[in-house]
A = this chain, B = another copy of it.
């Protein structure tokens, strides 16, 4: 059975959400977001840097949420979540899939470090402000794309899991919002598969 090494409020939620959308059976190994848990010898054997998610599938062990998503869709079940290569929305699907780690997550990482992970006396307000400005810029084209659309390329796809999860988390860190992004966040959080993951303890 697929085994997912998981921490709440991290990119591992993307994979759990995907597995729920696809209705694939899986085992969840819930870890804590602590040095003891993630930087242990046990977990470093799964990921040399002690990160999550990691997926195990028989002899296969794989990390990076984008890679795991592609792997599951290709090896296990597509479920209509990845447009066919000749579909008119295939290029845009790929674009938003990769926009998540390419443009949205780099400033998000900095914001999480500066607002949550660092002790107050080591925080850097200049770095935080720059990252917030960058994140705002990265979200702007998405507000436009979602005008009149339910999901990023029309129908729900794995791009809504990769980038949608980043947008969802950004909404929890940003003060201002935009109507299409806000409606989109509510729409994805209301999907039973994502709602189940969000409600998990």
Once bound together, how far apart are the Cα atoms of A98 and B69, in whole Å? 11
Rounded to whole Å, the gap between the CB of A94 and the closest CB of chain B is 4
Residue among A62, A66, A98, A105 with the highest chain B CB neighbour number at 10 A: A98
Name the residue of chain B whose CB is nearest to the CB of A108.
B106
Which residues of the partner chain B approach A61 to less than 8 Å between Cβ atoms? 91
Q: Which residues of B contact A201 (CB under 8 A)?
A: none
Name the residue of chain B whose CB is nearest to the CB of A106: B106
Number of copies: 2
Q: Which of A136-144, A147-155, A181-189 contacts B (4 or more CB under 8 A)?
A: A136-144
Contact check, A97 vs B67: say whether CB atoms are below 8 A apart: yes
In the assembled complex, the CB of A76 is this many whole angstroms from the nearest CB of chain B, namely 10
A74 x B85 contact (CB < 8 A): yes
Secondary structure type dominating chain A contacts: helix
Interface size on A, residues (CB 8 A): 39
Complex Cα gap A101–B49 (Å): 15
CB contacts under 8 Å to B, within A85-144, are 85, 90-92, 94-95, 97-99, 101-103, 105-106, 109, 124, 126-127, 137-138, 140-141, 144
Instruction: Name 15 A/B residue pairs within 8 A (Cβ), A-sorted.
Output: A48-B140, A49-B103, A49-B137, A49-B141, A62-B92, A62-B95, A64-B102, A66-B66, A66-B101, A67-B95, A67-B99, A70-B98, A71-B90, A74-B85, A101-B102
